[in-house]
Structure 1
Amino acid sequence: MRHQLTPVDSPLTSNALVMIHDQPQPCPYLEGRQARMPLHWPIRLVSPAEFDAYMEAGYRRSGTFLYRTRCGGCQACEPTRLDVERFCWSRSLRRVRDRGDRVLECRLQPPMADRSRVDLLNRHRDERNLASSGGPLSLADYEAFLVESCCDTQELSYWMGERLVALATVDLGATSLSAVYCFFDPDCAKLSLGTYSILKQIELAAATSRRYVYLGMYVAGNPHLNYKSRFVPQERRIDGRWQPIFVTNT
């Protein structure tokens, strides 16, 4: 497809994106469905304020690209966010946080790729049946997926002594934090590392005066994505606007 400039459907009228792909593909979230997820390449690095506007407009980031779902006749994917000041710390979530804090060290740094990270990601994908696209990821695959970026990106790594047990990639805007991807050691299931990582991201957003934590897509029919309903109160972008979702946690 020939590259073309496309306007941004958000307050970012001055920041053009180059469309590099817009073809139907197998849905990555629901088996047996077709998806349309146009990939756009920003013509320059995205500033923190611009990043906030992209998140507000329902975009997600993958590598150096931005995308939104454009699937005809399907609205199963619902971008989800939390208002940090209104977040409800239930007793069960506090237990997850406190249990993790007792045994884990959390480190924040720019993303990097090495063999320990690649091996942990591949193990996570294999044991959670997420490797449908083929064989294990290489170091170059990892870099393209979780290191290369078009905005301010950091990694939160979680360590048990000198053992890396989980890692979360996050994007930082001026007033938002976006959870990009998290993977963890299946042997540490008792620590609920996926939940623990989201809680640490909420704490990071609060400590840095960021209002929103964007959790990515909620898809009711996908068990790897529907866990997000546990974090409340939350908003989901439905029919082009952010709407409060009334669910409860325990």
Structure 2
Amino acid sequence: MRHTLPLAPQFYVTAPQPCPYLDGRMERKLFTALQGDTAETLNDALSKQGFRRSQNVLYRPSCADCTACLSARIRVADFKPSRSQRRCMKRNADLVRSANSPWATEEQFALFRRYLDSRHADGGMADMDIFEFAAMIEETPIRSRVVEYQDAAGTLKGVCLTDVLDDGVSMVYSFYEPDEAFRSFGTYIILDHVEIARAAGLPYVYLGYWVPGSQKMGYKAGFDALEVYHGGAWQDLGDPADYEGETHPLSVDPIAEQVARISLPDTMRTKG
């Protein structure tokens, strides 16, 4: 007998684990599966509501006593690079960009390992092997690209796994050569994605989560025309100090209320 999956996505919550961004706090995620013919439609809809993709899963922080993590995106039409960002673009003018199908290579993995060992040796991805890396790159049910950056000698300097949404590009994960800090590869890859979105006529570049109080995520506040998803709507970042209260436990809504407020595409809504 054939069994069909329910049309409306099912949402689940992970068990608490130590937060990778704020010391002394525990993180929890609300997540749902991406599968079937509706994967792209669901990814587009939930990305607009603060969700992020990891392989075939969409997730959003849903911690018990903290709402600090805020999805961030750059408004392409209004973005103007700062003086230091313009210098970064000039320093990396020699790089050649190529956008490829999501396929993992040994050269990518070698760069990925150097990046992790230098920047995130104690992070949650530190023990990833080449098979797990390949799964991160290749297991995508939606339109994704591996954007590579090579220097004039053909040496791979940076990589970004990028999803193409109906309203922008989403930088799922990027890594780069850690031994050339003066290049500011991480900043350059974001700046170049603004140009990618602009050339494609897409209004946004999704950067992932900005976390006030976290040094790891603080750099995102340095980009112009930045919006964050806060209180169920996108708004200009404004003064980062205004978000310090988001770690207060009374700022958290119950899981059932969070799920009830998620807006699903019309084709996925449960019919009564």
Structure 2 length as normaliser, TM-score? 0.79
Q: 2:176 aligns with which of 163, 184, 188?
A: 184
Query: Distance in 2 between the 1:113 and 1:29 partners?
Result: 28
User: Which residue of structure 2 aligns with residue 69 of structure 1?
Assistant: 61
Larger fraction in strand:
1
Q: 2:26 aligns with which of 19, 28, 34?
A: 34
Q: In the TM superposition, what is the alpha-carbon distance from 1:222 to its structure 2 partner?
A: 2.0
Q: In the TM superposition, what is the alpha-carbon distance from 1:135 to its structure 2 partner?
A: 5.2
Q: Percent identity?
A: 32
Are 1:149 and 2:140 an aligned pair?
yes
Query: Distance in 2 between the 1:99 and 1:155 partners?
Result: 22
User: Which residue of structure 2 aligns with residue 123 of structure 1?
Assistant: 114
User: Which residue of structure 2 aligns with residue 217 of structure 1?
Assistant: 209
3-state DSSP of counterpart to 1:111:
coil
Of 189-198 and 52-61, deviating more is 52-61
User: Which residue of structure 1 aligns with residue 50 of structure 2?
Assistant: 58
Q: Deviations over 1:200-224 (max 9, x none)?
A: 1000000001011111100122222
Question: Runs (4+) of structure 1 moved beyond 6 Å?
Answer: none
Report the residue type matching 2:169 in the other structure: L
CA contact (8 A) 1:120 1:185 kept: yes
Q: Deviations over 1:43-88 (max 9, x none)?
A: 3155655433211111100111100111122011011111100112
Q: Which runs of 5+ in 2 are unaligned?
A: 241-272
User: Which residue of structure 2 aligns with residue 199 of structure 1?
Assistant: 191
Q: 2:96 aligns with which of 105, 122, 128?
A: 105
Q: In the TM superposition, what is the alpha-carbon distance from 1:99 to its structure 2 partner?
A: 1.8
Larger fraction in helix:
2
**Residues 186 and 74 (structure 1 numbering): CA distance in 2 closer, same or farther, change over 3 Å?**
same
Of 124-133 and 86-95, deviating more is 124-133
CA contact (8 A) 2:35 2:141 kept: no
Are 1:87 and 2:79 an aligned pair?
yes
Of 174-183 and 130-139, deviating more is 130-139
**Residues 201 and 135 (structure 1 numbering): CA distance in 2 closer, same or farther, change over 3 Å?**
closer
Query: Distance in 1 between the 2:40 and 2:75 partners?
Result: 18
**Residues 108 and 134 (structure 1 numbering): CA distance in 2 closer, same or farther, change over 3 Å?**
closer
Q: Deviations over 1:161-214 (max 9, x none)?
A: 221111011110122111111111112211110000001100000000101111
RMSD between superposed Cα atoms in Å: 2.1
Q: 1:244 aligns with which of 228, 233, 236?
A: 236
Report the residue type matching 1:122 in the other structure: R
Bigger Rg over Cα? 2
Query: Distance in 1 between the 2:187 and 2:33 partners?
Result: 31
CA contact (8 A) 2:20 2:123 kept: no
Report the residue type matching 1:189 in the other structure: A
Query: Distance in 2 between the 1:233 and 1:192 partners?
Result: 20
User: Which residue of structure 1 aligns with residue 218 of structure 2?
Assistant: 226
Q: Which runs of 5+ in 1 are unaligned?
A: 7-14
